[in-house]
Amino acid sequence: MSHSTPQTYSLEVLAETTGVTTQVIVQYQEHGLLPPRFDDEAVRALRRIEHLRETCEMNLRGLKMLTQLLDEVEQLRQELRARR
């Protein structure tokens, strides 16, 4: 069974794919909101961050706290599913 390497994207491709400027993506990355590698998970994270920013009108500190909480909730859900 072969495991394919996850697709990674350049900053420019990530910006084009999500409609978020490269400057904003770099800012999110510098604040720890995005992983260092731009893969499919980064695309999902970026779309979630932008959705939260637009709907909740949060600043970067609030976005970081909320995304960390959402990640923790998801991790706890996965642990609960694994116990069943």
How many structural domains comprise the chain?
Answer: 1
Contacts 24+ apart (CB under 8 A), 12-16: 13/38, 14/38, 14/42, 14/43, 14/46
pLDDT value for 3: 56
- The reported pTM is 0.77
CATH number of the domain to which 16 belongs: 1.10.1660.10
Cα–Cα distance for residue pair 45/51, rounded to 1 Å: 10
Per the structure, the complete domain to which residue 68 belongs is given by 11-83
pLDDT value for 57: 86
pLDDT value for 2: 46
Residue 41 forms part of a structural domain? yes
Rg (the chain; Cα; Å) = 14
Residue-wise pLDDT for 26-61, tens only, equals 999 999 999 889 999 999 999 999 998 889 888 888
Residue 17 forms part of a structural domain? yes
Q: Give me the percent of the chain exceeding a pLDDT of 90.
A: 67
Q: Phi then psi for 44, rounded to 5 degrees?
A: -60, -45
Residue 19 forms part of a structural domain? yes
